[in-house]
Structure 1
Amino acid sequence: MGEMKKRAVVILSGGLDSTTCMGLAQEAGYDLFPISFDYGQRHKIEIENAKQVAEHYGVSARHKIIKLDFLRDFGGSALTDDAIDVPDVMNGTAADASEIPVTYVPGRNLLFLSIATSYAEVTGSQAIYIGVNALDYSGYPDCRPEFIHKVEEVIALATKVGVEGKGITIETPLISWTKAQIIEEGLKIGVPYELTTSCYNGKAEACGVCDSCRLRLKGFEEAGSTDPIPYLT
């Protein structure tokens, strides 16, 4: 019998970056096991996008959607607390690059990686793909390479496969790419960007003015391409 194909859990939000990670993991020869999180985010519409992306890659049966309602109960972020406005560049509330943005969700990536580790161990996956980016989102402490390395160390100590010396790696292929580079690479491998959303406001059509929308639009422009999703403005 032939050797079993390697497997990877992909943390899939339904956004541009995580969907690019799906494509890159497939290109790297992994069987895909996507996992998405419904944490009461303002842009919950992205869960539907994640389902469409999983279907596109033919892995809907493996796609896990995990509810983490307590993150909305905790609040503390513009994405989980309706009392905190999403930064809107057009209205003069753009995020200050010197501060951690109000769209940071306390503990989010730590939680996501912990749960993804459990799914990886159960499925016999050798890797976890996550679309963190330290260049465009340098204000988020849980997107830094130092954080990823420390979580890998914890996984090695806290899991059966880690103790047995097999281990689970955290793959962050986008961590030092610009948004334009991410899009260029994704287009080369046929990433279905028309199925994704990046807008923090969670409407059927992207707002075009929140920080995330503007970063995405700028990326497509610099990549010499047109964003295939609809915008309000």
Structure 2
Amino acid sequence: MSKKAVVLLSGGLDSATVLAQARAADYECYALAFDYGQRHRAELVAAKRVAESLGAAEFKIINLDLSSIGGSALTDMNIAVPDAGASGIPVTYVPARNTVFLSIALGWAEVLQADDIFIGVNAVDYSGYPDCRPAFIEAFETLANVATKAGVEGHGMHIHTPLMKLSKSDIVNVGTKLGVDYAQTVSCYQANDDGEACGRCDSCYLRRQGFEQAGVADPTRYRKA
């Protein structure tokens, strides 16, 4: 019998790869996406496509309104999404986003009696986000095993980050071998409603660079100038 896992699925390149990896490892996958007030809501349509094509047992979208607190170019339309190349923690960082997402994934995992959660965070091409680092994941896993009935009863909750030490080109190569259709994914921070990418933001830059370095044709649909 397959093990159950909750997989955080944004609809982007990284999370699609992680879902494929979890399926390849014989997990019964429950894909979880969030409608959190992000400007690039086309990623939710992409997430549904990816979940279906990669055989998720269930796909769920949780509605949150992080735009009500703002603080990020992804949730506040008054803050412009910058072009690639800025240093430090970028304005596209959404305050405490991965902490919130993992907490809800943890709750669903308990309900499903799943001991495993997969998330596509990456410390190589991580764009300066503090909640994509190994130290954060380690701390959250410790918290998960203190804060839950499952943890107290000794089941042990595990946070899997199979992309943590991979470059974007490595991720593209892994996903390609696993049959991920990257044309279904949306990574752009300001993709339009049709899922067309801007080609200028940090996420677009890293994605395009990943395909180029992997020697794989980039299937991304870019907006016309």
TM-score range with shorter-chain normalisation? over 0.9
Distance 1:231 1:86 in 2: 16
Q: Could you say which residue in structure 2 is the equivalent of 1:175? A: 164
1:152 to 141, 165, 168: 141
Q: Could you say which residue in structure 2 is the equivalent of 1:195? A: 184
User: Is the counterpart of residue 116 in structure 1 residue 105 in structure 2?
Assistant: yes
Q: Report the 3-state secondary structure (helix = DSSP H, G, I; strand = E; otherwise coil) of the residue aligned with 2:142.
A: helix
TM-score normalised per structure 2 = 0.96
Letter in 1 for 2:67: R
Q: Could you say which residue in structure 1 is the equivalent of 2:153? A: 164
Distance 1:159 1:111 in 2: 15
- How far the C-alpha of 1:57 sits from its partner, in A, is 2.2
8 Å contact kept, 1:138–1:144: no
User: Is the counterpart of residue 72 in structure 1 residue 61 in structure 2?
Assistant: no
8 Å contact kept, 1:95–1:102: no
TM-score normalised per structure 1 = 0.92
- How far the C-alpha of 1:138 sits from its partner, in A, is 5.1
Q: Could you say which residue in structure 1 is the equivalent of 2:175? A: 186
Distance 2:79 2:123 in 1: 24
User: Is the counterpart of residue 15 in structure 1 residue 12 in structure 2?
Assistant: yes
Residues 41-68 of structure 1 deviation map (CA, whole Å, 9 limit, x = unaligned): 0101100000111111233x62110011
Q: Could you say which residue in structure 2 is the equivalent of 1:213? A: 204
- How far the C-alpha of 1:13 sits from its partner, in A, is 0.2
User: CA-atom RMSD, angstroms?
Assistant: 1.1
User: Is the counterpart of residue 40 in structure 1 residue 27 in structure 2?
Assistant: no
Distance 1:47 1:124 in 2: 26
Distance 1:31 1:190 in 2: 17
Distance 2:186 2:58 in 1: 21
Distance 1:29 1:168 in 2: 18
How many residues are treated as equivalent by the alignment? 222
Q: Could you say which residue in structure 1 is the equivalent of 2:78? A: 83
Runs of 4+ in 1 over 2 A off after TM superposition: none
2:89 to 61, 80, 100: 100
8 Å contact kept, 2:127–2:202: no
